[in-house]
Amino acid sequence: MAERIEETVNGEEVLQKDEYLEKYGFNDKFEYKFRTKKGLSEEVVREISKIKGEPEWMLQKRLDALKVFYSKPMPKWGADLSKIDFDDIYYYLRPTDKSKGNSWDAVPEDIKRTFDKLGIPEAEKKFFAGAEAQYDSEVVYSNIKKELEEQGVIFTSMDQAVKDYPELVKKYFGTVIPASDNKFAALNTAVWSGGSFIYVPKGVKVMAPLQAYFRINAEKAGQFERTLIIADEGSDLANTDVTYIEGCFTAGTEISTIDGAVPIEQIRTGDKVLTHRGRYREVYHTQVRPHTGRLFHIKYFGDTSTVIDATDEHPFLVSKIEKTEYKNTDWKFEWVRADELQKFDYLAMPIDRSIVSHDQMEFMVPAGTGNRIDDMPLKLSIDEGFFRLIGYYLAEGSTTGHARDNYLMFTFNKGEMEYILDTAQLLEKYFGKKPIIQDVYKNRISVVLRSTLAAGFFSGEFGNGAMNKHVPNWVVHETLEKQRELVKGMWKSNGSSTNKGYVNGTSMFRINTISPLLAKQLRNILLRFNILSNINKQVRGGDRHTMYCVHIGGEDLALFANLMGVLSYDVGVENSDGTEMLVSVNQAQTTSSYSRIIGNYALLPIKEISWESVEDLPVYNFSVMEDESYMAGGVAVHNCTAPIYMSSSLHAAVVEIVAHKNSHVRYVTIQNWSKNVYNLVTQRAYAYENASVDWIDGNIGSGINMKYPSVFLKGKGASGEIVSIAVAGNNQVQDSGGKIYHLAPDTSSKIISKSVSKGSGVTTYRGLLHIAKNADNVKSTVRCDALLLDDTAKTNTFPYNEIYNSTATITHEATTGKIGEDQLFYMMSRGMSEDDALATIVLGFIEPLAKVLPMEYSIELKRLIKLDTSNSVG
Amino acid sequence: MKLEIKDLHVSVSGKEILKGISLEVNSGEKHVIMGPNGSGKSTLAKAIMGHPKFTVTSGEMLVDGKSINSLATDKRARLGLFLQFQDPVEIDGVGFISFLRAAKESIDGKAVGMKDFMKDMRGNISSLKLGDEFIGRSLNQGFSGGEKKKAEVLQMAMLKPGIAILDEPDSGLDIDAIKVVAENINKIADSTKPGLLIITHHTRILGYMKPDFVHVMVDGRIVANGGSELSDRLEKEGYNSYISKGSETSR
């Protein structure tokens, strides 16, 4: 009997899951409505079949397979499988009462959340031609684009296919891989659940790749999906299984970190970055890769100083525009690829509302006289008055001196006596020394404090020279009460307001600075008050610096006036420096009326989006603990990766492909399972006359992997190609390769295997080349290259040949290489660190194959090589 | 930038190769080290760059007064040292351009814009007569002897080192290629004024670039120092007189 799980989840289990959530991210606490009893038995198999409402013939196949499973011994010729406990596994989990969602709306919220985290957004139909997402044992959602349906392509879950296409399933299921093939194929046949069924009719070419997503969510839930692909005569299909998607940004893209804005290329493991949830989380891996293809340039309203450059597939957090008048009524957020973004879609800028407050702080300031410089401690009260003084400094302050800064100076317009006196009084209060108020010079009055300590403090914490002004981290996270005073100080002395002479007679506030960083920081601080400002970059004539104006207009005007303690209609009309700036109030006005603050997001419409083709442009990305997202150029973007789990899971899938006459099928699998997973998958294809089948098989994850895709060349002129890539880091065994059976004349095949091992990792190539007696004129090439990254890594090669026909042309090449001292020395002599040099060499090694693979491969590889040495993850 | 070598002794697998070398190279100076095969010239080059196989048993290497003896190779490179390899290794699948750009970024400590980088690259490629298809190739993979030498000079031009050690930039090159390589080295010398330490067997390349200092190295020791007149003399007389001298001093 199936148990009702709500009752049986005990407190301890829930606690563990919370820990995972805290530590590793997104193992959603999920209420399983049904699961079978732990362990394997005839009763469990019957239960699975019954829950699925299967016909008798399928149940019979399961029961027969179960007998085969019991009768076969555990394979001992490869990796150590003795630790798999078949009685400690749940063989069936069903996530919901509804067995199937026909549309995204029918998918339960918590599953949607998990998919969001996986980077499979609500807009998946835009992402993929048809995506089938598997959540544990049941396919909860599948979608096929209309065109495919019209062509007669069937892409559905295996479970559904049993019901809807029984004749096709009966005809092919288990014919390519019978249960008797091996113990794990038998197990899969007995307890299979989920997986994909694809049928491509005669002559149909499926151009867009169909992608299916698999993941094991529950601990100890075996996943036994079953995939059956039938390519009818003359059809063409490329199917890709990837565990995640990932995109990238160009160098210089500003990432919001807990220490301020940092160019993406300088982001390192361990840095804390702001995520789309408005909180800081740690970076756990970084990567850079060359990008060839489209590079998108995105500008958004509200900040004319920022252009975001992103690769075409990078997902952004957006609310899609619903109507042309820029006013969505329903604010739904989704992850959308750069190349699917449209003008006026709203980019989400999360608001960092975190508060870290101090009453007092001690700073070390370089001080002393003559040539002696010592760091002196400076203790300061961090209160509202002090923040106002900071505001004055940001607007009007500077420091001067000979050997170092001795003078702290604030220069105001002569008319601003109120602020001059306020500044003088504040300086005396916090630094215990009376400043000098100088005489009027060119309509200006300076307040000067002679204090090496004060001058050193301000130039050190807030920058000297107007271009370099910024606020440090401790200011960014202070309380709103203090920050209000900072804005006041800045605005009163350097800002302005105007309500005359412009179109519509509208009013606006603005604060000017020539520091682009300060402009953004100010914008972010104002967001904490729910005030939406716009940064307007003004390139000015002559040798004058580019000005960044932080405007507040429209509906935010009243909020700002209220914050500053002025009524919006009685603010002055003149600029503090007596000059008029060239700003278009009109533009500021419309811009802010486009934008919105919804909850913890400022939503900024895309103003311009364009792209160019680039070649080998280095692009950067990194992964973030838990939230799997970060801020690039101020807006939220996604990163994705496989989830990490604690104890062992078993993944024993079966993939059967039937390629009829003249058809072509390409199947790409990149498995990135976490290291506690046993990945024991059987993949086999039948290729009939002149058909061709390519397996591209990337094995990066899992603790123990045994996988040998095979092609049976059954018809004259058929061809098969197997590309196998394996990367074994510490505690990983990658036992992989390929099998080709030449069973007909004029058939050709190619096996290419590249493996990389490191530390205690072991890679094994296991290949079989069979040429039957009647198979004349066979051509076959086998090449396997292994790369060892250190002295402890191991690699084995076991090529088996069964040749019964002497007309065959066979070439076999195998190499084992070690990264040489001289290679590392050469690269390091050019300034590369040892880690970078190592990663570069390995990426070069697999480069010929990486071309045909999705880019995640290189990303994951780099993570393995770099992070495994530091033991940070995994 | 200043590189000082003080009484440097270097061994390889227990065998002493360098037996007390002292040398000083400053920015803007052109030094030439000549000597017969096996005298330890390349060992000196690799020891300065920190190859793990070469053990410094005594003596000191200093950059601007600070010892670099215990610095890793990449840190030395980031100080501004550069070694032009006599026979650079081939690395499969690593694009020459992306490698060089990554190298430049780590040496400069900042991101390098693709546009400017490529502009610079193309300029240098054409002045080295390398041909545009060079851009798409893997690091030293399948390069001819001449292309390898030129690619090393290209790297030097792009990385703009403070002190560059050129280990036989001329060996294996035909007369036209030697001229192109020498002209390009001169161009770098004129524009960024690195200190140059050129290791060579023969004097042909010196016809295109006049050294300020010439050092003769025999059996792990510098046995003679002089100006460019010294290389002229070697051209005529060979090393024989120094070889006997070398063995005398070793006694």
Q: What is the pLDDT of residues A373-390, one digit of tens each?
A: 677 888 999 999 999 999
**The pLDDT of residue A768:** 94
What percentage of chain B carries pLDDT values higher than 70?
97
Give the residues across from B192 on adjacent strands: none
Backbone angles phi, psi at A132, to 5 degrees: -120, 115
Cβ-based contacts of B107 with chain A (< 8 Å): 830-831
**The pLDDT of residue A730:** 81
Chain-chain contact of B77 with A290 (C-beta, under 8 angstroms): no
Q: How many CA atoms does the CB half-sphere of A45 hold within 13 Å?
A: 22
Report whether pLDDT(A150) > 90: no
Interface of A with B (CB under 8 A): 251-252, 263, 265, 290, 614, 616-618, 820-823, 825-834, 836-837, 840-841, 843-848
Across the interface, of B74, B82, B113, the residue whose CB is closest to A832 is: B74
Report whether pLDDT(A329) > 70: no
Chain B nearest-CA distance from A626, in A, is 28
* Owner of token pair 């030439």: B32
Per-residue tokens: A287: 């990567």
**The pLDDT of residue A713:** 97
Q: What is the Cα–Cα distance from A265 to A637, expressed in whole angstroms?
A: 16
**The pLDDT of residue A829:** 96
Chain-chain contact of B95 with A823 (C-beta, under 8 angstroms): no
Report whether pLDDT(A727) > 50: yes
Size of interface A-B (CB pairs under 8 A): 97
Q: Helices (DSSP H) in A511-574: which residue ranges?
A: 516-528, 556-564
Q: What is the Cα–Cα distance from B183 to B190, expressed in whole angstroms?
A: 10
Chain A nearest-CA distance from B241, in A, is 35
Q: Select, from the ranges A41-55, A244-258, A609-623, A636-650, the one with the highest average predicted confidence (pLDDT).
A: A41-55
What percentage of chain B carries pLDDT values higher than 90?
56
Say if B160 is an interface residue toward chain A (CB within 8 Å): no
Q: What is the mean pLDDT of residues A53-77?
A: 94
- Given a contact cutoff of 8 angstroms between Cβ atoms, the answer to whether B100 and B59 are in contact is no
Best mutation site among A614, A615, A829, A838 for testing chain B: the one with the most B CBs within 10 Å? A829
Across the interface, of B72, B78, B85, the residue whose CB is closest to A826 is: B85
Residue A243's pLDDT band, with cuts at 50, 70 and 90, is very low
Across the interface, of B82, B93, B114, the residue whose CB is closest to A845 is: B93
Q: Select, from the ranges A25-34, A275-284, A800-809, B227-236, the one with the highest average predicted confidence (pLDDT).
A: A800-809
Q: Select, from the ranges A16-30, A60-74, A623-637, A661-675, the one with the highest average predicted confidence (pLDDT).
A: A60-74
- Given a contact cutoff of 8 angstroms between Cβ atoms, the answer to whether A276 and A627 are in contact is yes
Across the interface, of A617, A840, A848, the residue whose CB is closest to B99 is: A840
Per-residue tokens: A757: 């091992």
Tell which wins on pLDDT, A785 or A730.
A785
**The pLDDT of residue A502:** 33
Q: What is the Cα–Cα distance from A495 to A533, expressed in whole angstroms?
A: 13
Say how many Å lie between the first and final Cα of chain B, rounded: 36
Instruction: Return the amino acid letter for A357.
Output: S
What is the residue-averaged pLDDT of chain A?
75
Say if B107 is an interface residue toward chain A (CB within 8 Å): yes
Q: What is the Cα–Cα distance from A653 to B188, expressed in whole angstroms?
A: 61
Range name among A11-25, A426-440, A622-636, B80-94 with the lowest pLDDT average: A11-25
Q: Who contacts B133 (Cβ-Cβ below 8 Å, separation ≥6)? A: none
Tell which wins on pLDDT, A323 or B122.
B122
Instruction: Return the amino acid letter for A284.
Output: Y
Chain center to CA of B105: 21
Residue A512's pLDDT band, with cuts at 50, 70 and 90, is confident
**The pLDDT of residue A127:** 31
**The pLDDT of residue A778:** 96
Per-residue tokens: B192: 């960024």
Tell which wins on pLDDT, B100 or A874.
B100
Range name among A202-216, A533-547, A621-635, B119-133 with the lowest pLDDT average: A202-216
Q: What are the tens digits of pLDDT across the range A80-114?
A: 888 888 887 878 765 443 333 344 454 445 445 54
Chain-chain contact of A836 with B97 (C-beta, under 8 angstroms): no
Across the interface, of A827, A828, A847, the residue whose CB is closest to B93 is: A847
Report whether pLDDT(A225) > 90: no
Q: What is the ipTM of this complex?
A: 0.95
Range name among A64-78, A133-147, A185-199, A615-629 with the lowest pLDDT average: A133-147
Residue A402's pLDDT band, with cuts at 50, 70 and 90, is low
Instruction: Return the amino acid letter for A434.
Output: K
CA distances from A224 to A168, A682, B192 (A): 21, 11, 64
Q: What are the tens digits of pLDDT across the range A500-509?
A: 333 333 456 7
Say if B144 is an interface residue toward chain A (CB within 8 Å): no
Cβ-based contacts of A265 with chain B (< 8 Å): 105, 111
Chain-chain contact of A829 with B105 (C-beta, under 8 angstroms): no
- Given a contact cutoff of 8 angstroms between Cβ atoms, the answer to whether A814 and A693 are in contact is no
Say if B142 is an interface residue toward chain A (CB within 8 Å): no
Instruction: Return the amino acid letter for A622.
Output: F
Q: What are the tens digits of pLDDT across the range B73-100?
A: 999 999 999 999 998 998 887 888 888 9
Q: What is the Cα–Cα distance from A498 to A485, expressed in whole angstroms?
A: 21
Per-residue tokens: A519: 């402009």
Question: Other C-beta atoms within 10 Å of A8: how many?
Answer: 10
Cβ-based contacts of A617 with chain B (< 8 Å): 114
**The pLDDT of residue A208:** 54
Tell which wins on pLDDT, B187 or A415.
B187
Instruction: Return the amino acid letter for A808.
Output: A
**The pLDDT of residue B64:** 95
**The pLDDT of residue B76:** 96
CA distances from A696 to A213, A291, A648, A670 (A): 16, 21, 26, 8
Say if B175 is an interface residue toward chain A (CB within 8 Å): no
The number of domains in chain B is 1
Report whether pLDDT(A613) > 90: no
**The pLDDT of residue A265:** 80
Per-residue tokens: B130: 């390398």
Chain A nearest-CA distance from B247, in A, is 32
Q: Select, from the ranges A290-294, B151-155, B203-207, the one with the highest average predicted confidence (pLDDT).
A: B151-155
Across the interface, of A263, A821, A828, the residue whose CB is closest to B72 is: A828
Cβ-based contacts of B88 with chain A (< 8 Å): 826
Q: What is the Cα–Cα distance from B18 to B10, expressed in whole angstroms?
A: 5
Q: What is the Cα–Cα distance from A122 to A141, expressed in whole angstroms?
A: 11
Domain extent at residue B11:
2-250
Chain center to CA of B220: 17
What is the residue-averaged pLDDT of chain B?
89
Cβ-based contacts of B76 with chain A (< 8 Å): 829
Q: Select, from the ranges A242-246, A276-280, A341-345, A769-773, the one with the highest average predicted confidence (pLDDT).
A: A769-773
**The pLDDT of residue A193:** 85
Chain A nearest-CA distance from B224, in A, is 29
Best mutation site among B46, B49, B98 for testing chain A: the one with the most A CBs within 10 Å? B98
Find the closest chain B residue to A844 by CA distance: B93
Chain-chain contact of A821 with B99 (C-beta, under 8 angstroms): no
Per-residue tokens: A321: 């525009």
Of A262, A241, A151, nearest in space to A196 by CA: A241
Tell which wins on pLDDT, A240 or A216.
A240
Q: What is the Cα–Cα distance from A718 to A733, expressed in whole angstroms?
A: 33
pTM of this structure: 0.55
Instruction: Return the amino acid letter for B73.
Output: T
Best mutation site among A288, A616, A830 for testing chain B: the one with the most B CBs within 10 Å? A830
Tell which wins on pLDDT, A141 or A770.
A770
**The pLDDT of residue A867:** 43
Range name among A1-5, A451-455, A461-465, A615-619 with the lowest pLDDT average: A1-5
Q: Helix A42-51 to helix A183-191 angle, to the nearest 10 degrees?
A: 50
* CB burial of residue B204 (10 Å; 0-12, 13-18, 19+): middle
Q: What is the Cα–Cα distance from B128 to B188, expressed in whole angstroms?
A: 12
Range name among A636-645, A818-827, B21-30 with the lowest pLDDT average: A636-645
Give the residues across from A751 on adjacent strands: A722, A782
**The pLDDT of residue A629:** 74
Rg of chain A (C-alpha set): 32
Find the closest chain B residue to A617 by CA distance: B114
Q: What are the tens digits of pLDDT across the range A518-559?
A: 888 898 899 888 888 888 888 877 778 888 888 887 667 777
Find the closest chain B residue to A839 by CA distance: B94
Tell which wins on pLDDT, A327 or A348.
A348
Best mutation site among B73, B106, B160 for testing chain A: the one with the most A CBs within 10 Å? B73
User: Domain containing B216 — which CATH number?
Assistant: 3.40.50.300
Q: What is the Cα–Cα distance from A743 to A741, expressed in whole angstroms?
A: 6
**The pLDDT of residue A35:** 63
Q: Select, from the ranges A490-499, A777-786, B234-243, the one with the highest average predicted confidence (pLDDT).
A: A777-786
Q: What is the Cα–Cα distance from A536 to A583, expressed in whole angstroms?
A: 8
Q: What is the Cα–Cα distance from A689 to A661, expressed in whole angstroms?
A: 5
Q: What is the Cα–Cα distance from B27 to A36, expressed in whole angstroms?
A: 77
Q: What are the tens digits of pLDDT across the range A553-586?
A: 766 777 777 777 664 433 333 333 333 332 333 3
CA distances from A546 to A508, A553, A587 (A): 21, 21, 19
* Owner of token pair 């000079």: B153
Residue A597's pLDDT band, with cuts at 50, 70 and 90, is confident
Q: Who contacts A53 (Cβ-Cβ below 8 Å, separation ≥6)? A: A163
Q: Select, from the ranges A120-129, A509-518, B31-40, the one with the highest average predicted confidence (pLDDT).
A: B31-40
Report whether pLDDT(B165) > 80: yes
Q: Which of residues 42-101 of B touch A (CB under 8 A)?
A: 46, 49, 51-53, 72-74, 76-78, 82-83, 85, 88-89, 91-95, 97-101
Report whether pLDDT(A11) > 80: no
Chain-chain contact of B77 with A829 (C-beta, under 8 angstroms): yes
Of A565, A562, A496, A485, nearest in space to A525 by CA: A485
Across the interface, of A616, A821, A834, the residue whose CB is closest to B97 is: A616
Q: Helix A452-462 to helix A384-396 angle, to the nearest 10 degrees?
A: 80
Across the interface, of B51, B89, B94, the residue whose CB is closest to A840 is: B94
Residue A424's pLDDT band, with cuts at 50, 70 and 90, is very high
Q: What is the Cα–Cα distance from B135 to A743, expressed in whole angstroms?
A: 45
Q: What is the mean pLDDT of residues A827-839?
A: 87
Chain B nearest-CA distance from A843, in A, is 7
Best mutation site among B53, B78, B89, B108 for testing chain A: the one with the most A CBs within 10 Å? B89
